[in-house]
């Protein structure tokens, strides 16, 4: 099992319940592909470095998880088509 981190940037133009549902969907995807979530970090609303889809602010979430090497590709392919997710990235965390 490798350690990964999923960074998700969620639209600021939606309600709190919808935003929570997006994060829950991401967690469910990780668990569906055999991942074990270790930590969810909510950074809250931040200003974007540049405008994306006419938005200047968005909510940032970082989900750390352990999974097999095939899981990140599957997770990214599902997150890519989710509504209200404007950016995403799965990175592997090295053992320090």
Identify which of 80, 84, 63 has the alpha carbon closest to the alpha carbon of residue 7: 63
- The per-residue pLDDT of the chain, averaged, comes to 93
Q: What is the pLDDT of residue 96?
A: 59
> CATH code at 34?
3.30.70.60
pLDDT in tens, 2-31: 999 999 999 999 999 999 999 999 999 999
pLDDT in tens, 40-78: 999 999 999 999 999 999 999 999 999 999 999 999 999
Q: How many domains does the chain have?
A: 1
Measured CA to CA, the distance from residue 62 to residue 18 in angstroms comes to 17
Measured CA to CA, the distance from residue 95 to residue 32 in angstroms comes to 25
Query: Model's pTM, two decimal places?
Result: 0.89
* The residue to which tokens 């809250």 are assigned: 44
Give me the domain span that covers residue 66.
2-92
């Amino acid at each position: 099992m490798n350690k990964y981190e999923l960074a998700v940037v969620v639209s600021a133009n939606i309600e709190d319940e919808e935003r929570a549902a997006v994060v829950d969907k991401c967690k469910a995807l990780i668990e569906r592909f055999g991942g074990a979530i270790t930590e969810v970090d909510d950074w809250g609303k931040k200003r974007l470095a540049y405008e994306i889809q006419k938005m200047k602010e968005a909510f940032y979430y970082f989900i750390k998880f352990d999974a097999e090497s095939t899981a990140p590709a599957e997770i990214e392919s599902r997150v890519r088509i989710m509504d209200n997710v404007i950016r995403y990235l799965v990175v592997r965390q090295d053992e320090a």
